[in-house]
Amino acid sequence: MAIAPGSSVQLDNGKSATVRVTFLGGLGEIGRNCACIEQDGRIMLLDCGLMFPEPEMLGIDLVLPDFTYLRDNADRIEGCIVTHGHEDHMGGLSYLLRELSFPIFGSRLTLALAKNRIEEAGLLGRTQLIPVADGERRRIGPFDCEFIPVTHSVPHGFATAFHTPQGIILHSGDFKIDLTPVDGRTTDLARIGAMGIEPGIRLLLSDSTNAEEPGHTASESSVGKVLRELFRVYAGRRIITACFASHIHRVQQIADAAIANGRVVATLGRSMAKNVALARDMGFLTIPDGSIVDIEQVASLDPARVCVISTGSQGEPMSALSLMAAGENKRLKLGDGDVVIISAHAIPGNEYSVNRVIDGLYRRGTEVVHSGMADVHVTGHAMAGELKTLLSVADPEFFIPVHGEFRHLTHHARLAMEMGVGEDNVLLAEDGDVVELTDKGLEFVGTVPSGYLYVDGIVGDVGHGVLRDRRVLADEGVIVVVVTVDATSGEVITGPEVITRGWVHAPEAEALLDEARQCVLDALERAVDNQVVEMESLKRQIRQTLGRFVNDRTKRRPMIVPVVMEA
C-alpha cells in the first residue's frame, strides 16, 4: 500500500478532468471527520465534525479541524454534505459557519440534529438546510451526488456516491450492515452492488473504526431482547437507563421494553429531553403520550411503574448520570432498590470516567448492569466481516480507509488487499493529505494544514502555547515574583515578593520562599551593577536565576512569572 510522501507541493486548482480529495480530519483519529471532494474547481465538503479532547488537553472543550484550507478557498465552496447526526461529523459546523456561509445537505433527521447547534450559535442565517431523501440523486453545482441509506447508531445516515468525470467515488459514511435494524431501513447493498458492476466504483472511502474486530456486529434489535429480559428480571424495582441521546433506536427499544412491562418513561438530561421531543415530533420515535411523564413526577410514582431514560453513558462529569452517581442530581435521587442499565460502551478515553460513575452508583446502593455484564449495547460501526462484504460488493478500483486511528486504517487497508484490491491501489492517507484521481490513477499530490484547532469556551483557537502552559501549571505549579524598580537606576524599591501556587506548600516552606526572595534580589542587584535596566532583560534575569534555584533545591520546573513594575 502507498503511504503519503509527506511533501507539500503547489496545488494546481481547477483542472476539469481531475478529481481531488482533501482530508482535513478523521484519518489518524476518531473524531473531527472532514473531507473535501473537488471537481471543476469547486469544493464539496463531506462532514465537518469535532473531536472530544484527550485528557492531556487541559481545559479544552473540543477540537476542530484546521479550517485554513477552507478559509483560503472560501469562494470555491459549494456546500457541505453531512452524512449523519453525530457530533464527530457535524459538530464543527457551528464554528465554520462563523467565518463562511454555505448550504448544508443531509437527511431530515441529520439536519434537525445539526440545526440545534447552529441555532444556538445564532448562525442559521448563514446557511440553508436542504433535506435529501434515501436513494435521491441530486446535482449540487458541478457535483452529481447520490445518497444511499446505511445503518448506524443514529438513524438515517447516508453513504454518499459522487458520480464524477473520473468515475464514482463512494464514501461509506459511518455504517454497519444491520440486516434487522429497528426501523427496517437497511444498508442499501443492492444499490452499491449495482454501481460496482455498472459503471463500476473507482474509489471507495470506508469507515475503519472496527477494522481490527473480526466477524460481524450484532443487530441493534438484539439489544431489545436483552432489555426486555432485564425488565422482567428487575420487575418491581425502579429502572434508570443511560444511552446516547442521538441513539433514537436505542431509546425506542428502551421505551418499548418499559411500556411492555407496564411502565411509563421519563427523560433526564437536556439533550435526551430535546432529542426525544424532536424525534417524536418528526415521527422517528414512537412513545404514546400516555406513556411519557415529566421527570418531576417520577419521585411520586410507584418505582415498579417507571423507567427513566438518561444521558451520561460516557461518564461526562456534569451529565445527569454522573450527578446521580454523586447524589447531586436535583431531579432524581437514587438509592437501594434502583437499577441502572448503562446501554453503551465507554468510548476509548472515557473508561476512567465511566468506572467512577459505576462506583458511585454502587455506593448509593443501586444495582448496575453494563455492557461488560450483559449484551445491553452493540456497536454502530462495521466489523471486519462487514467491511469485507462492502469491499466485495463495491469492488472498487482504488481504496482509502477513513474514520479511524492509524492502526484501524492500517488494518482496513490489509482487509482491502485481502479482498483483491491491488497493493498499489490502496492508499493510506492521513489528515492533510491531498489525493488526485486522474485517467492514470490515484496519487498523493500534496498536503494542506491539518493541525488541531483547540476550542476553549467561546475562544476560537487557544493554540499550542496555551496548552503547553496549562500542562506546566498542572504538573509543576507557578511562582509569581512581584517587584518594583526605579525607572532610571533599576534599583529595587519594593519587593521582591514571591508567591506560589502548586510548587511548595507555602506555610511549611517559608524558609525556601525567603531564600528564593534573596536569590531574586541578588540577581536584580547584579543587573544594576551591570547597568541592565531594561524591563524584558530584568524579567529574563529573574526567570533564569530563580528557575536555576528552584531546580537545584527542589528538582522542579514550575512556571515562573516575573511582574516587574517601574516607579
The C-alpha cell of 368 is what? 448496575
Rounded CA separation 260/431 (Å): 47
Place of cell 472560501: 74
Which CB sits closer to Zn ion, 89 or 238? 89
Place of cell 468515475: 167
Please work out, in degrees rounded to the nearest 5, the angle formed at the alpha carbon of residue 72 by the alpha carbons of 68 and 78.
Answer: 105
Rounded CA separation 425/419 (Å): 12
| Packing angle of the helix pair 108-120, 270-282 (nearest 10 deg) | 140
Catalytic residues: 207, 381
As measured in angstroms, the least distance from the Cβ of 405 to Zn ion is: 12
Residue 305 DSSP symbol:
G
Rounded CA separation 51/355 (Å): 22
Residues 350-389 that bind Zn ion (CB under 5 A): none
Mark residues 164-183: x for contact with Zn ion by CB under 5 A, - for none. ----------x---------
Place of cell 536565576: 545
As measured in angstroms, the least distance from the Cβ of 210 to Zn ion is: 11
Which CB sits closer to Zn ion, 404 or 495? 404
152 CB-contact burial (10 Å; exposed 0-12 / middle 13-18 / buried 19+): buried
As measured in angstroms, the least distance from the Cβ of 381 to Zn ion is: 8
- Residue 88 in contact with Zn ion, rule: CB under 5 A: yes
Mark residues 121-160: x for contact with Zn ion by CB under 5 A, - for none. ----------------------------------------
CA distances from 531 to 68, 265, 416, 538, 541 (A): 46, 77, 70, 11, 13
Place of cell 496519487: 443
As measured in angstroms, the least distance from the Cβ of 30 to Zn ion is: 7
Residue among 536, 168, 203 nearest 402 (CA): 203
Rounded CA separation 131/85 (Å): 13
Say how many C-beta atoms besides its own lie within 10 A of residue 290's C-beta: 8
Rounded CA separation 152/281 (Å): 21
As measured in angstroms, the least distance from the Cβ of 37 to Zn ion is: 18
Helix (H) or strand (E) holding 277: helix 270-282
DSSP code per residue over 458-512: TBS--HHHHHHHHHHHHHH-EEEEEEEE-TTT--EEEEEEEEEESSS-GGGGHHH
- Residue 220 in contact with Zn ion, rule: CB under 5 A: no
- Which part of the chain contacts Zn ion (CB under 5 A), choosing from 85-93, 100-108, 437-445, 515-523? 85-93
As measured in angstroms, the least distance from the Cβ of 414 to Zn ion is: 21
Residue among 428, 391, 411 nearest 172 (CA): 391
The C-alpha cell of 27 is what? 484519518
- Which part of the chain contacts Zn ion (CB under 5 A), choosing from 79-87, 195-203, 482-490, 545-553? 79-87
- Which part of the chain contacts Zn ion (CB under 5 A), choosing from 88-96, 123-131, 179-187, 359-367? 88-96
As measured in angstroms, the least distance from the Cβ of 249 to Zn ion is: 13
Residue 52 DSSP symbol:
P
| 3-class SS of residue 441 | strand
Q: Are 265 and 227 in contact (CB under 8 A)?
A: no
- Residue 470 in contact with Zn ion, rule: CB under 5 A: no
As measured in angstroms, the least distance from the Cβ of 386 to Zn ion is: 15
190 CB-contact burial (10 Å; exposed 0-12 / middle 13-18 / buried 19+): exposed
CB within 8 Å of 442: residues ≥ 6 apart:
203, 398, 425, 427, 435, 436
Which CB sits closer to Zn ion, 86 or 411? 86
Among 86, 117, 202, 470, binds Zn ion (CB under 5 A): 86
| 3-class SS of residue 221 | helix
Which CB sits closer to Zn ion, 166 or 275? 275
β-sheet bridge partners, residue 2: 427
- Which part of the chain contacts Zn ion (CB under 5 A), choosing from 82-90, 234-242, 310-318, 428-436? 82-90
Q: Are 35 and 400 in contact (CB under 8 A)?
A: no
Q: Are 106 and 158 in contact (CB under 8 A)?
A: yes
Contact residues for Zn ion, defined by CB under 5 A: 86, 88, 174
